Amino acid sequence: MTEDSGAHWADAAPERVAELNAVKADETPEWIKGGMPPQPVTVTVGTQTFAVKKAQFLTAKIGWALLSGPADVDDLLAVSADGGQSWHAEVTSDIAAAVEAERKRMKRTEQEAVLYVSQDAAAKTVGSAWTLLPDKAAPGDVVLVRSNEPGEIDWEGKKYALQPFGAGYFTYIPLSMAIKPGKYPIGSESLTIVSKKFETQYLQVTKQLESMKQDSARIAADQKKIDLARSQSKPEFLFSKANFIQPIEGILTTPYGYTRYVNGKFDSSHRALDLAAKEGTPIKATNDGIVALADSLYLTGNTIYIDHGMGLFSQYAHLSKLMVKTGDEVKQGDIIGLVGTTGFSTGPHLHFTYWAHNVPVNPNLFFGTTPFHWNEPQQEQKPAQNTPTQKQDSKQ
């Protein structure tokens, strides 16, 4: 799109039709401009009707028409900002405002469109009142919801406000581990939840390690820091169309969603991946973002949270070394720290997950794709990796 698309011709003197035609070079895709109205044969300006010599619509709304003037005057140029329903002999402030609004709308649409897998996918989504990315999910997953209108979504007892971005309004909705299979209406669409079985894992740790979980004052103090870091997220998607990456290769010792017992007592659902690797293995940022927290915490050891915008964070725990600090901007693939075994941990590994609005969600959904591609059938989904063979080797 040219810098002054739409505005250029409107500001030009009406008689300079040649200059106006330069707008034809505008590279905005046709679907963003909208369906072009039919070419007018005559147009009415005020109370007079004129024959049209030449006319062009630049978008579905904005157009100009060169008219045959009366015998004693030069040709006239008329402009329309409502798809040819009304025509005006000059660019009034209302028309200038309409042109500017249209220019902004096209820019916002282009900003969003680049995130989809193709122009067709973008056009389909922007043209729909509601889109669920994806429209089929399992307990512990996350869904990106898009609407053409602002509002909020009631989901499992919480409200999620749709945030403006591009030409639409978005929010992530995290799914609990306990959600029942079925169809759930969201806007004009329906989200299908399929059932998923999660394995149980029995972890044996030393009494000393086990007692760490009893220091509730330190745990609460850390939680305050974490909550503060995750309470603010940039109101835009901070990643581009590049696919999210797994931060280290590692060996999967605990998959996502395992029900975990520590020394025989129920502990939690392990809503993260544990990837075992040699101490000192470099850890990559999964995608672009801003470091929301890089700190030494009690249970998760040296820990990093990266804000990817719109309430989505990635988390990296038990590091031997932090190589970024809170507030740093990171690019996908940047080395942010090294694998370690700090905090509640039985050996060198990376505990990695994503958080959507303070709920941990399935990391496997992200690798090799982005939320904007989650409805694509060719989506590259990592198969479940090797399951732990020796359960007591599993890491927190």
When the beta carbons of 146 and 351 are compared against Zn ion, the nearer one is 351
CA dihedral angle for residue 207, residue 211, residue 213, residue 218, rounded to 10 degrees = -150
When the beta carbons of 45 and 350 are compared against Zn ion, the nearer one is 350
Q: How far apart are CA 333 and CA 32, in angstroms?
A: 33
When the beta carbons of 373 and 395 are compared against Zn ion, the nearer one is 395
When the beta carbons of 5 and 300 are compared against Zn ion, the nearer one is 300
Which of the stretches 8-16, 164-172, 284-292, 345-353 binds Zn ion when contact is defined by CB under 5 A?
Answer: 345-353
State how far the alpha carbon of 203 is from the alpha carbons of 210, 290, 300, 387, 390, in Å. Answer: 11, 34, 17, 14, 10
Q: How far apart are CA 180 and CA 352, in angstroms?
A: 26
Place of tokens 């505005």: 7
Please report which helix (H) or strand (E) contains residue 306, including its range.
strand 301-309
Place of tokens 């299908």: 192
Which of the stretches 238-246, 267-275, 321-329, 339-347 binds Zn ion when contact is defined by CB under 5 A?
Answer: 267-275
- Name which position in 33, 146, 230, 351 contacts Zn ion (CB under 5 A): 351
Smallest gap from residue 227 Cβ to Zn ion (A): 20
When the beta carbons of 237 and 344 are compared against Zn ion, the nearer one is 344
Q: How far apart are CA 293 and CA 228, in angstroms?
A: 9
**Cβ pair 289, 304 in contact under 8 A:** no
When the beta carbons of 274 and 307 are compared against Zn ion, the nearer one is 274
Count of residues of this chain found to bind Zn ion when the rule CB under 5 A is applied: 4
Residue nearest to Zn ion (CB): 351
Q: How far apart are CA 237 and CA 132, in angstroms?
A: 17
Q: How far apart are CA 40 and CA 272, in angstroms?
A: 61
Smallest gap from residue 283 Cβ to Zn ion (A): 14
Query: What is the contact mask toward Zn ion in residues 150 to 189, using x (rule: CB under 5 A)?
Result: ----------------------------------------
Which of the stretches 199-207, 282-290, 344-352, 373-381 binds Zn ion when contact is defined by CB under 5 A?
Answer: 344-352
Query: What is the contact mask toward Zn ion in residues 270 to 309, using x (rule: CB under 5 A)?
Result: --x-x-----------------------------------
Place of tokens 């989506």: 379
Torsion over CA: 161, 110, 95, 53 (sign): negative
Q: Give the residues lining the site for Zn ion (CB under 5 A).
A: 272, 274, 351, 396
